[in-house]
Structure 1
Amino acid sequence: MKARGGNSSTNSHNHGGIDVLCLNAAVLLGEDSKAEFTEDGIEVTFQTNHLAPFLIANLLYDLINPGGRVVVTSSGLHAFCDFQEFRGCQLGGKATKGFEMINGEEFNHKQSYATTKLCNVAFCFGLNRRLRSKNARAVSFTPGLIPSSGLFRHQKNWMATAMKKQAVGMDDTVEWGGCMLAWMVLSERVVMNDPQVENSTYWRAPLGISKRGGKIPEDLFQTPVNEAALERRNQELLWRISSDLVGVSYNENTAISQQDHIIDQ
């Protein structure tokens, strides 16, 4: 994992800073896959889905303008897993590489994906708290189940799975996902907390609504998230572990990356 940090004040002066940062990368391995590791010694799903956006957000943190917004794409699957004390990657209180899944379970392609999406939501809460100092926000959402997005390209039976989802009206279109992301970026409603949904920065729509005459924003709503992502301890422990793995400094109050450095771990 290689990234170059520059002088953020210079970059901000030259480019005007960042008003919106969208963190949208994801990979889902095949059904029979064993854990695959990058040259950094980190499992591919975890590095792509969580560490990459975490690192990008840290490196660009100083460039985010007051009133800016970070939008993190997650998944409804985040609700069906748990961190389990992050026992997969901690040894003597220090984050270690080489783990198959961060919760210590044996690798499973779907559970690995779901756990990284839980990481996305917990990370979003931690980032949102840090962005308050500059009156900026971090929010997350699920675009729905979109078989045609390319996410399922490593699945042997993805076409059969897609047809099953389509048959019961659970799939959505790529256009819907894109429009929902655009709404997350532009709408002021997104950054106005719903008092009936405590601590939520997470948005969704009913599955398959795009093919049943669904409309944006009428069919979008805030919804509670997995309790594991709401726990401040989990948010900060994940932040500390992630900082160790990518080589940025950890700070409980800010997401400040080390300046003028090259990360090559």
Structure 2
Amino acid sequence: MSPRKQTVIITGGNSGLGYECAKEIAKFDKNNNVVIACRNAGKAKKAVDSLILETNNPNITSLELDLSSLESIRGFVHEFSQKDYPPLYALVCNAGVQFIDKTHFTKDGFEATFGVNHLGHFLLANMLLGQITHSGRIVFVSSGTHDPLKKTGMPAPVFVDPKILAYPDQTSSNEAISLIGRRRYTTSKLCNLYFTYELANRINQQTETNITVNAFDPGMMPGTGLAQSYTPFMRFVWKYVLPVLTLFIPNVNTVRQSGKALAALVTDSNHNRTTGKYFEGTKEIKSSELSYNNENRKQLWKASVELSKLNKTETILEVGL
């Protein structure tokens, strides 16, 4: 990163992976201004206060952002642009949800897993793109669960018409809602990769910038808040039993380990020209064969433009292609 003062936005930076990533970036260089984008102002303030104490970097603030609301996302971008922050260097799209108890919906009526994990970040990244510095970075937190060939214990993703992902038919399936919810999660993580690759390509083709776009698999991180809709027993296993696996099984990591790896995709100068790639921790690997389907990624882009009502005044890219 440059020795000049620069800003990094981290969605969901108030806890878990996002918090650890924010901590590493703030410690890396005291010139780094870190903005925690969080929907809960109280939790955000506590995180900011804690991060300042842990890093001795006073340049940590928060702004309210609810990724389940298109209005909130637009409001966040407007508020950020009005603040006297240093130039925006990086956007880390980390926040994510998983629901296995019932179907949840965003404030705009989209199925919440797709709406938050993909669509909210789609709109946010596009709207901030024009404010990111010439050689800035965007990182999307995906997951190895997007790959059907990996034995993650999660159901394989099923990519269909994105408008069906946004507005699923809830009457046509006899499957357990827990299975449906977990599949929605893995599919949203596949969407993160489609968006990563499509955005990287469009930036290369349509702009004169060197903004890089990459995706990150943190591995399984037992103990995080991703299991909030699980049953009490499953939450107990997730919080207290599975963390032991970090000692024995590959790509099962502590939040701190994954947070450091995620931060490196923002701070490491070795990645100055790395774009359109997928990282498992600090290692660049191939994502699933399915994730390289160009037709799917273009279909997702087109539908996402329509669903988010993204218009040509909100992004530096050509939205209609």
TM-score of the pair, normalised by structure 2: 0.61
Alignment of 1:69-80 (within 5 A): 69-80=137-148
Q: CA RMSD in A?
A: 3.4
Could you say which residue in structure 1 is the equivalent of 2:304? 242
The separation in 2 between residues aligned to 1:6 and 1:161, in whole angstroms, is 33
Residue 40 of structure 1 corresponds to 108
Q: Say whether 1:255 aligns with 2:317.
A: yes
Letter matched to residue 224 of structure 2: S
Instruction: Give the Cα separation in 1 of the matches to 2:237 and 2:113.
Output: 23
1:166 aligns with 2:229: no
1:80-111 residue CA offsets vs partner (Å, 9 max, x unmatched): 23554x23626xxxxx952259xx99761111
Match of 1:89 in 2: 163
1:43-54 maps to which residues of 2 (within 5 A)? 43-54=111-122
Q: Deviations over 1:111-165 (max 9, x none)?
A: 1100000000110111111222211110111111111221112211132245256
1:4 equivalenced with 2:66 (yes/no): no
2:287 to 199, 202, 225: 225
Distance (whole Å) between structure 2 residues aligned to residue 187 and residue 29 of structure 1: 34
> Does the 8 Å contact 1:28/1:45 carry over to 2?
yes
Paired letter, 1:201: K
Q: Which amino acid aligns with 1:65?
A: T
Of 157, 163, 167, the residue aligned with 1:98 is: 167
User: Which residue of structure 1 lines up, in the alignment, with residue 191 of structure 2?
Assistant: 119
Note if 1:190 corresponds to 2:271: yes
For structure 2, list consecutive stretches of 5 or more residues without a partner in the other structure.
Answer: 1-68, 149-155
Distance in 2 between residues matched to 1:61 and 1:43, nearest whole Å: 25
1:202 correspondence with 2:278: yes
Are the counterparts in 1 of residues 130 and 316 from structure 2 also a CA contact under 8 Å? no
Counterpart-to-counterpart distance in 1, 2:77 and 2:99? 37
| Aligned counterpart, 1:23 | 93
Task: Classify the secondary structure of the residue corresponding to 2:90.
Answer: strand
Letter in 1 for 2:269: E
* Alignment match, 1:68: 136
Secondary structure (helix, strand or coil) at the match of 1:151 reads helix
Question: CA offset at residue 51 of structure 1?
Answer: 0.8
Shift in alpha-carbon separation, 1:12–1:225, aligned structure 2, 3 A: farther
Q: TM-score by structure 1 length?
A: 0.73
Q: State whether residues 249 and 256 of structure 1, in contact with CA within 8 Å, keep that contact through their aligned partners in structure 2.
A: no
Cα distance in 2, alignment partners of residues 120 and 202 from structure 1:
11
SS of match in other structure, 2:147: helix
Separation in structure 1 between the aligned mates of residue 146 and residue 107 of structure 2, nearest angstrom: 27
1:143 aligned partner: 218
Contact 2:213 2:276 in 1 (8 A): no
Give the conservation status (yes or no) of the 8 Å contact 2:201–2:276.
no
Amino acid at match of 2:287: V
Residue number in structure 2 paired with 1:209: none
Structure 1 contact 58–256 (Cα < 8 Å) conserved: no
Contact 1:82-1:228 at 8 Å conserved across structures: no
Which structure carries more helix by proportion? 2
The aligned amino acid for 1:55 is L
> 1 or 2 for the larger relative contact order (CA 8 Å, sep ≥6)?
1
Q: Does 1:180 align with 2:257?
A: no
- Structure-2 residue corresponding to 1:154: 229
The 3 A distance-change label for structure 1 pair 6 and 237 is same
CA 232–191 in structure 1, closer or farther in 2 if over 3 Å, else same: farther
Secondary structure of the 2:223 match is helix
Whole-angstrom CA distance in 2 between matches of 1:111 and 1:225: 18
Q: Identify if the C-alpha distance between structure 1 residues 165 and 242 changes in structure 2 by more than 3 Å, giving closer, same or farther.
A: same
